Structure 1
Amino acid sequence: MSEIVLTNDEKARYARHLILPQVGEAGQKKIKSASVLVVGAGGLGSPVLMYLAAAGIGKIGIIDDDKVDMTNLQRQIIHSTSSIGELKTESAKRRIKEINPEIIADIFDTRLTIENAKEIIDGYDIIVDGTDNFATRYTISDCCEILGKPWVFGSIHRFEGQVSVFNLNGSPNYRDLFPKAPPPELAPNCAEAGVLGVLPGIIGSFQANEVLKIVLEMDGILDSELLLIDTQTMNIRKLRYNSNKEREKVTELSEEAISCALGLDEEQSLDVSSTKQNMKEISPLEYVDKVKNGWKPFFLDVRREEEEKIVTLPNTNLRISHTEVPSRLQEIPDDQDIVIYCRSGARSAMVANFLKMSGDYSMEVYNLSGGIHLWSSTVDSSIPKY
């Protein structure tokens, strides 16, 4: 490997780093030679990417399969109104290259999965978790344990956030602290629970700070410690945790191991193909056309009460949170077709599959594909996406 040198322009750009005793020119060279993969270019990924680019991390990878949406802009500050409809990876790459043209920015327009995780993660020194789902988080954790890579964890919920560092030189891993994911009703994502827009900026900045401390080999890194921040009360505290000596170390990536951590039984899978085999789907346009021709299905909303206040689709007969459906089956008729909807079609698919698997419904059960989002795009643009 050729010797890392700082150009005169770089010395000017990083001047405030160079005068820090903990960084200096030697430290800045470490930063320049480092590579970091950021999983997710959303709320957490935005500040992480921008601050690491500004700091001079030599190679930054961005992985995300989503496109910029209007609802992202309240907190995902790396994107702008002009980016709507663009791949988040492309939008993020353009922004960090504007911040620092000298860095290398790699993009992966895909979701991190057990199939591609090793190949992608193996090319970087440090991994940053900017995700909002547990399946991807456990995939990051398991892959980093196998490859011996440190990773920086961050999570947000309404006004609260958490930060920690896992798998740093043999330090505890995510499964030591969280052997099992909480049930969905206790850990809804931002789209379901909401989040104060500045919170991911705060938590993401802490994550970027931990990355730089790891690169610079500084003291005080949050390995074996979980930082808890409540921005409503401004209560900030740290909890210490240890490795679980009885936990079997991860040696290979498997869907079964991820499913176990998520609390799924053998009949449930991260692969939604099994769900689709047990229920039918109907698009918003197909639904509207059939209703105009006299079809009268039971129209069931399985979102949360807070979401119902934002918008409700016409002809909705009942709203029940998807987690309450098993205990309220008596409210759902078994003598007419049922169409189930939610924000994007994911929760409604789970409920549709559950109803068909229960065997109590001889009539047809449909999932409204794409949910309110697709309805807004194809049927009525006045229906707000959120």
Structure 2
Amino acid sequence: MLIKEELSRYNRQMILPELGLKGQEKLKAAKLLIIGAGGLGCPVLQYLAAAGVGTIGIVDDDVVELSNLHRQILYNHTDIGLSKAKTAATKLKLLNPYMDFTAYHERFTADNAIAICQNYELVIDCSDNFTTRYLVNDTCVSLEKTLIFGSILQFEGQVAVFNHHGGPNYRDLYPVPPTENITCVEGGVIGILPGIIGLYMANEAIKLICGIGQTLSGKLMTIDALNNTVLVFKIAQEKQPEMVKKEVIIETTKEIDKITLDQWLSESPDEIFLIDVREDYEHEEGNIGGMNISLYELTASLETIPKNKKLVCYCQTGQRSKMAVQLLEEVYKGEVYSLIGSLG
């Protein structure tokens, strides 16, 4: 039941016919767990708190650092050295006193994952490493919890909804972790990107809780903030429904390792065409040759790709190159492969 002050506070979103009083009551009754109170976690937390989600758990064992402040704008310089989870809970309580927050100043591990997650109906993964992402996913699958996923690096972000009503989970998209985990510490990130991706994640949470709109369940949305490009892929499962118009199915791609590539280049170099699907600034910093065509420009650059050759796409981790293969297989008549692993 909403009190008078809450009715006034949430008035502007309650007048939306899709949400209304019933939707706002669903938000107040909801229990969400946010794993990671950093770049992605800050905007997710701020907007869900403002929207009136009743109960939020915050898991993060890190403390605020000076280098966080260009993107983690929930904090300020007086918070440096303080627990992110506890500081976030304190600040969010000031933003919305009608909510309950639980701060877990601890690392999300196999030892505490189930104990923490089982108390919440929806989990939002704002972590920054593959070990945690796979653990969060596997825990949600085990507990049959819906998972909202987001990731950021440099100028590119990803958003998806996993394990919703038996839908695809993170391992359907990325079966095994990449050999190299490049984070914002090594690769950098533009400060506004976590805000953009975090807001999409918060929006997915509101839609899922209220049962409105179309969600990213079983889909992966990628956003290139440098070139203002958005792609939406549909993630294949064993039983895959009809493909949505203008979406690409990400399924098992043809992959080769560096040893195989080197052998091909040694035996028949004229038959191989390399494509670096990273951005031009990444290509300039280091590459293994070939043409540089961004993932987001592939389909518009087909005339620059030679016909009747084996195409081998590569990137920093092998993730974008897998997406590139799926895009090219729709329009290119020859063989297309993704190079496994990192450039290192």
Query: Do they superpose with TM above 0.5?
Result: yes
Task: Confirm or deny that 1:77 pairs with 2:73.
Answer: yes
Q: Secondary structure of 1:22's partner?
A: coil
Residue number among 53, 59, 64 corresponding to 1:57 in the alignment: 53
- Structure 2 Cα separation of the partners of residues 72 and 215 of structure 1: 30
Q: Work out whether residues 54 and 100 of structure 1, in 8 Å CA contact, stay in contact via their aligned partners in 2.
A: yes
Residue number among 162, 176, 182 corresponding to 1:180 in the alignment: 176
Measured after TM superposition, the shift of residue 219 of structure 1 is 2.9
Q: Secondary structure of 1:26's partner?
A: helix
Amino acid at match of 1:217: G
1:157–1:244 Cα change, 3 Å: farther
Measured after TM superposition, the shift of residue 18 of structure 1 is 1.2
Measured after TM superposition, the shift of residue 244 of structure 1 is 4.2
Residue number among 189, 193, 199 corresponding to 1:199 in the alignment: 193
Residue number among 230, 233, 239 corresponding to 1:239 in the alignment: 233
Partner residue in 1 for 2:223 = 229
Partner residue in 1 for 2:33 = 37
Partner residue in 1 for 2:164 = 168
- Structure 1 Cα separation of the partners of residues 194 and 117 of structure 2: 23
Partner residue in 2 for 1:13 = 9
Q: Secondary structure of 2:82's partner?
A: coil
Measured after TM superposition, the shift of residue 183 of structure 1 is 2.2
Amino acid at match of 1:36: L
Q: Secondary structure of 1:156's partner?
A: strand
The total of aligned residue pairs comes to 241
Measured after TM superposition, the shift of residue 98 of structure 1 is 1.2
- Structure 2 Cα separation of the partners of residues 113 and 244 of structure 1: 29
Task: Confirm or deny that 1:213 pairs with 2:207.
Answer: yes
Amino acid at match of 2:198: G
Partner residue in 2 for 1:111 = 107
Amino acid at match of 2:192: V
Partner residue in 2 for 1:292 = none
Q: Work out whether residues 39 and 130 of structure 1, in 8 Å CA contact, stay in contact via their aligned partners in 2.
A: yes
Structure number with bigger Rg: 1
- Structure 2 Cα separation of the partners of residues 217 and 64 of structure 1: 29
Amino acid at match of 2:188: G
Measured after TM superposition, the shift of residue 117 of structure 1 is 0.2
Gaps of 5+ in 2: 240-285, 287-344
Percent identity, please: 45
Amino acid at match of 1:140: V
Q: Work out whether residues 141 and 169 of structure 2, in 8 Å CA contact, stay in contact via their aligned partners in 1.
A: yes
Measured after TM superposition, the shift of residue 225 of structure 1 is 0.8
- Structure 1 Cα separation of the partners of residues 227 and 205 of structure 2: 27
- Structure 2 Cα separation of the partners of residues 219 and 74 of structure 1: 33
Normalization by structure 2: what TM-score? 0.69
* Superposed counterparts of 1:293-304, under 5 Å: none
Measured after TM superposition, the shift of residue 242 of structure 1 is 2.0
Q: Work out whether residues 86 and 104 of structure 2, in 8 Å CA contact, stay in contact via their aligned partners in 1.
A: no
- Structure 1 Cα separation of the partners of residues 67 and 87 of structure 2: 15
Q: Secondary structure of 1:76's partner?
A: coil
Partner residue in 2 for 1:286 = none
Partner residue in 1 for 2:315 = none
1:56-80 alpha-carbon deviations (Å, 9 max, x no partner): 0000000000110001101111111
Task: Confirm or deny that 1:155 pairs with 2:151.
Answer: yes
- Structure 2 Cα separation of the partners of residues 64 and 121 of structure 1: 14
